[in-house]
A and B are shown apart, each in its own frame.
Chain A
Amino acid sequence: MILQHFEDQESGIMNAIKKNPESASPRKKLALETARLGKRLYSNADDLVWAGPLVPFDLLNAMEVTPCFAEFIASILVSTDAGPLFFENAEQAGYASDTCGYHRMLMGSALKGMIPTPKLLISAMSPCTGGLAAMENLARVFKKDLFILHIPQKESDHGVRILANHIRNMAESVSSHTGKVLDKDRLRKAMENTNKTRDILSNIYKLAQQVPSPVNGRDLSNFGIVLPLFFGTEVGIEIAQSFYDELKSRIKANRSGVPGERIRLMWLQNRIQFKNNLVKMLEKEFNASIVIDELNVITWDPIDPEDPYIGLARRSISSPLNGTVERRVKQIVKLAEAYKIDGAINPCHWGCRQGTGARGLIDSSMKEIGVPVLNLEVDCVDPRNFAEGQLITRIEAFMEMIESRPSPW
């Protein structure tokens, strides 16, 4: 059923582009490649490794295994007709209904046999213990090994060296579970590809900072969290390049992402993964654009292709989702200033430390620079808990409030 979903998605996008080549937007390109990734995941043809979001996917891509982070597949499954059924399965199996929807979806679908069996699971101690618990559960369901990557909370030379060694161990573990050997040349090439993608991303984010911004509220949604799946590959470079070219052409044509942009917003943490009208409403009724998603950021230096482990370790440690909230908050404030935002929306995803636990600290730091934060209480994955009318009221009031005050910039 899920394989069919990805096949239909791939052929649908291909046909649409064939019919109208002009419609080949970067967003479609990204959707096409994620559909192809989904096909590989569900075709049983590849060696599959389920991994947490901070695991170095480029290393796994270099080993020619198919890596995917579990939250990604959860967000895909939620859009299928069987989505509600999977949540019910998880709850019937004892997962509390107010825990993270990503993990509930994952467990519910795994129990129904809708998650393909991997050769190995890899989880990091960061960003969340709930994710680690979900991976432990999955490992038990699949009767497969779980490799746990210990990511230090702080970036110190000692911590980086430890993690670098740990990533080496991880690669050896993948090798022993899949029989795939990590070829030095392929690893070097993968790191070169990662660096190219990194540079393009960095340029994309610089373009997005322009006032008015060439991006609209949908262009770069989930971007910083999904694109790492393609790190180390030519496809990753192509996707990034297509976004860069599109934004560049919009700037050249003097076209902003949201026509008549009046309000610039930041979206914290992750987007609402199921279909909803909030972003459209923001654009249409308030000329408001989400110009920056918190996770669309490069926090790491290029990786040395000759000695990649240190660079990979530094990258994982530097993630805004790793370490103290204080570090994350500093990053958010930096982004708010760089993008000159008028306000930030925090969905406060149910059952999530990053989403809800940090909100007071985020609020007070943003207040210091004059940027208001709207805290919603949304289950970003489970549409059964979605009260759109109530959220629209909150967002409308927030927009009215922003309109009535002077810009912080």
Chain B
Amino acid sequence: MITAGIDLGSLSTKVLILEDDDILSTSILTTEEEGALVAKKAMDEAIKKAHISFEELKNIVSTGYGRRLVPFAKESKSEMLCHAKGSHWLFPKARTIIDVGAESSKAIRINEGGAVEDFAGNDKCAAGTGVFLDTMAKALEVPLEEIGQLSLEHKGKAQISSMCAVFAESEVVSHIHKGIPRNDILAGIHESIADRIFGMLNRIGMKNDVVMTGGVAKNIGMVRALEEKLGTKIYVSEYPQMIGALGAALIARNSK
């Protein structure tokens, strides 16, 4: 049975096509135009890569910020559920998931069957999300892809006290003016996000194993800062930004 999951996020749109237990293809496009259009383009690309026709897809489930904008999805599910399903499939021992995407961060606790038991998320501010890190990288004039590695090379950690994205940026600028090395500033930024996520994890009651999903999980500095804060290993798949789409495809597969 071939199914697809589509995760229409605020910054990127991901499609994953699944045949039973095999991932046939994935695609990822920047969400820079109308949701329905980018959804179709991402789906066309994934279909082409999988060498199948659209008609061969038995079921399609959408998730993500724009999940309701995908005209060809049979049903839509929340990101929490999809990240839970995708993570549990890849890491059956996973009990806690940290999902940090472009504009939201979430902590999800699941049971041994992969069902969501509790969750918490950021509601008021973009601080602690991918967009926040992007802004910080720009302020430091460092490519986003390099901030993780650079932060690991720190000697000290700059204090980022504010958890407001706008105020944090001005703190970073102030640190730059004081001549604090950017590695230290980056380490401080990651630590401040880890502190915030730690708060969410405490609210839901963290249990091992911990898995991190979402594009920010590709940032090694962020993962290490979290491991240090939580005192536990964090498991990250090769394609953390695809986990929502994977979960959606799994739900599509298991849907009656």
Q: List residues of chain A with CB under 8 Å of any chain B CB.
A: 372, 375-377, 387, 389-390, 393-394, 396-397, 400-401, 404-405
Contact = CB atoms under 8 A, between A and B. Distances in A.
Interface of B: 65, 77-81, 104, 115-121, 123-124
Contact of B121 (A394, A396, A400, A401): A394
Residue from the set B65, B78, B104 with the largest chain A CB neighbour count within 10 Å: B78
B66 to A, nearest CB: 9
The dominant DSSP class at the B interface is mixed
A400 B77 contact: yes
A393 B81 contact: no
B123 A393 contact: no
Given A393-B78, A396-B78, A397-B78, A376 B123 contact: yes
Contact of B116 (A375, A389, A397): A397
A389 B69 CA distance: 12
Contacts of A394: 121, 123
Closest 9 CB pairs of A and B: A397-B80, A397-B78, A377-B123, A396-B78, A404-B115, A401-B116, A400-B81, A393-B78, A377-B124
Contacts, number: 40
B73 to A, nearest CB: 14
Contacts of B124: 377
Given A393-B65, A393-B78, A396-B78, A401 B104 contact: no
Residue among A387, A389, A401, A405 having the largest count of chain B Cβ atoms under 10 Å: A401
Contacts of B77: 396, 400
Given A376-B123, A397-B78, A397-B79, A405 B115 contact: yes
A390 B123 contact: yes
B244 to A, nearest CB: 12
B160 to A, nearest CB: 21
Contacts of B65: 389, 393
B79 A393 contact: yes
B208 to A, nearest CB: 21
A368 to B, nearest CB: 14
A401 B79 CA distance: 12
B118 A372 contact: yes
Given A397-B81, A404-B115, 5 more contacts: A390-B123, A393-B78, A393-B80, A396-B77, A397-B78
Contact of A400 (B80, B104, B118): B80
Nearest to B10: A389
A375 B118 CA distance: 11
A182 to B, nearest CB: 47
A280 to B, nearest CB: 14
Contact of B119 (A377, A401, A404): A401
A404 B121 contact: no
Contacts of B80: 393, 397, 400-401
Given A396-B78, A400-B81, A390 B104 contact: yes
Contacts of B118: 372, 401
Q: Which of B65, B79, B123 has the most CB of A within 10 A?
A: B123
A377 B122 CA distance: 9
Nearest to A400: B81
Contacts of B78: 393, 396-397, 400
Contacts of A376: 123
A404 B78 CA distance: 13
B123 A404 contact: no
A400 B76 CA distance: 11
B116 A404 contact: yes
23 contacts: A372-B118, A375-B120, A377-B123, A377-B124, A387-B123, A390-B121, A393-B79, A396-B77, A396-B78, A397-B81, A397-B119, A400-B78, A400-B80, A400-B81, A400-B116, A401-B81, A401-B115, A401-B117, A401-B118, A404-B115, A404-B116, A405-B115, A405-B117
A177 B4 CA distance: 72
Contacts of A393: 65, 78-80
A396 B62 CA distance: 13
